[in-house]
Amino acid sequence: MLQTLRRRWFLLLLMTTLVVGMGWAVKLAPLAEGLPREWIIGSVLLAMALPLRIDAMWATLRRPAPALLAVAINFVVVPLLAWGASLLLTGDLALGLIIAAAVPCTLASAAVWTRLAGGNDAVSLLVTMITNLSCFLVTPALIQLFAGQADHSIQFADMAWKLFLLIVFPIFTAQLLRSIPRVGPHVGQWATANKHGLSTFAQVGILTIVFVGAVNGGLKIASLDNQLAPIAGQIFLMILLAAAVHTVAWWIGYKTSRHFGMTPGDQLAVAFAGSQKTLMVGLAIALPFGGLTVLPMLVYHVEQLLIDTLLAERFRISVELDRE
């Protein structure tokens, strides 16, 4: 029991934060409004990027096919699946699902889950860097393409600049610090030695932003009054659709890479990195829209953790049995 709690503490706290934030939204609103969201997001991205080693990914570029396939799935297949699913939803939930699908691959869990399943985590790391460094252009373009006609408040230039400052700049700064001749080795050693602490700091920051999103969602639900019943049906449908989008994208990545004759390790990397989406970037985009727009991103993140944990454990057990 204690071992399970240690492994799942972040997921449990994430769900608790959602329940508390949405359940007591009115009382917690002043606290949520006073939090410096942009500074928290930027510091979290910096903390998550510091331990990453760009040089460890160069070898993967000699065989770029798995990484390129995963990027295509992440930025083409998942948004197309989500756009089709969003046609069954309305308002904030439809927009939120499109935003969740348009953001880049997660900075942390894609490589971790790939490694847990016995896959090639170097591919996942490369996909993470490519999608995150390009998201300031790709993500606004995808949202504009799939939701811009329905929501005229979406402005490409404003969103691109915001993502550059909040996502690309912290990642670039982290890698620049690692590359400075006299400072870089010390920064790299410190980041590696304190990887667990940096990860914990990032997770606390994510929980803080989730809290802000949960409070905003709770305020929206509280304002619905008699319209809660139809929205409840839409929320339940959105939960099912988000799980379906992630699972289908995972299997498309796995089966497609297998069809092209990639190694089993690369197949798992394509599946996990191609289908996973980063919570922090999604919340950074969704929060300004308010209402329930943040909910699909939160749901997608929780579901990808649950689904991918089951998939990773299944493949890990399969690999162990093959070795015996």
Residue 82 pLDDT > 70: yes
Q: What is the mean pLDDT of the chain?
A: 83
Return the half-sphere exposure (C-beta side, CA atoms, 13 A cut-off) of residue 216: 23
Q: Do the Cβ atoms of 127 and 273 come closer than 8 Å?
A: yes
Confidence of residue 322 (pLDDT cuts 50, 70, 90): very low
Using CA atoms, how far residue 126 sits from 36, 122, 288, in Å, is 30, 6, 30
- CA angle, corner 264, sides to 259 and 267, nearest 5? 60
For residues 262-283, average pLDDT: 91
Residue 200 pLDDT > 60: yes
Predicted confidence at residue 23, as pLDDT, reads 83
Predicted confidence at residue 140, as pLDDT, reads 92
Question: Which of the residue ranges 170-174, 202-206, 296-300 has the most confident prediction, judged by mean pLDDT?
Answer: 296-300
Residue 309 pLDDT > 60: yes
Report the alpha-carbon distance of residue 190 to residue 32 in Å, rounded.
32
List domains and CATH numbers for the chain.
37-315 (1.20.1530.20)
For residues 6-30, average pLDDT: 80
Predicted confidence at residue 321, as pLDDT, reads 46
Report the alpha-carbon distance of residue 38 to residue 105 in Å, rounded.
20
Confidence of residue 7 (pLDDT cuts 50, 70, 90): low
For the ranges 94-103, 132-141, 161-170, which has the lowest average pLDDT? 161-170
Return the half-sphere exposure (C-beta side, CA atoms, 13 A cut-off) of residue 34: 4
For the ranges 21-30, 44-53, 98-107, 245-254, which has the lowest average pLDDT? 44-53
pTM as predicted: 0.82
SS (H, E, C) the chain: CHHHHHHHHHHHHHHHHHHHHHHCHHHHHHHHHCCCHHHHHHHHHHHHHCCCCHHHHHHHHHCCHHHHHHHHHHHHHHHHHHHHHHCCCCHHHHHHHHHHHHCCCCCCHHHHHHHHHCCCHHHHHHHHHHHHHHHHHHHHHHHHHHHCCCCCCCCHHHHHHHHHHHHHHHHHHHHHHHHCCCCHHHHHHHHHHCHHHHHHHHHHHHHHHHHHHHHHHHHHHHCCHHHHHHHHHHHHHHHHHHHHHHHHHHHHHHHHHHHCCCCHHHHHHHHHHHHCCCHHHHHHHHHHHCCCCCHHHHHHHHHHHHHHHHHHHHHHHHHHHHHC
Q: Of all residues in the chain, what percent carry a pLDDT higher than 90?
A: 27
Residue 320 pLDDT > 60: no
| Closest C-alpha among 102, 111, 109 to residue 82 | 102
Segment 44-60, tens digit of pLDDT: 878 777 777 666 566 66
Predicted confidence at residue 137, as pLDDT, reads 92
Is the alpha carbon torsion for 37, 41, 101, 285 positive or negative?
A: positive
Residue with token string 């309305």? 90
Report the alpha-carbon distance of residue 112 to residue 272 in Å, rounded.
10
